[in-house]
Amino acid sequence: MKFTFKRKPRSAIGVALIACASFLALAVWGWGVPVASLGQSLLLLLLLLLVVIVAAGLLIAVLKLGRYWFGGRE
């Protein structure tokens, strides 16, 4: 079975960004979340995302080195 990635059209990405921004605005305006708290939460989420990306990169590097050292597929 072959899996392919289908790219989203640019309009779908724009709609997703507008929805995200409106949800954040609702959190500030409707629920009374302080902007500073929202900024801290977004910064924490970005840092966690960076940690996950770096961990995935390191795992890929370790797997490739393991194949190289132990004579697996190249």
- 35: containing domain: 10-69
Would you state the pLDDT for residue 4? 72
The percentage of the chain sitting over the pLDDT mark of 90, rounded to a whole number, equals 49
Examine residue 54 and state whether it is found in any structural domain, yes or no: yes
The residues near 35 (Cβ < 8 Å, ≥ 6 apart) are 28
Give the count of domains, the chain: 1
CB neighbourhood size of 3 (10 A):
4
Examine residue 74 and state whether it is found in any structural domain, yes or no: no
Tell me the two tokens of residue 58: 């390191």
Would you state the pLDDT for residue 73? 58
Examine residue 24 and state whether it is found in any structural domain, yes or no: yes
* pLDDT tens digits along 30-47: 989 899 999 999 999 999
Examine residue 35 and state whether it is found in any structural domain, yes or no: yes
* pLDDT tens digits along 54-68: 999 999 999 999 888
Question: d(Cα 70, Cα 67) in Å, to the nearest integer?
Answer: 5
Q: What 3 state SS string does 29-71 have?
A: HCCCCCHHHHHHHHHHHHHHHHHHHHHHHHHHHHHHHHHHHCC
Examine residue 41 and state whether it is found in any structural domain, yes or no: yes
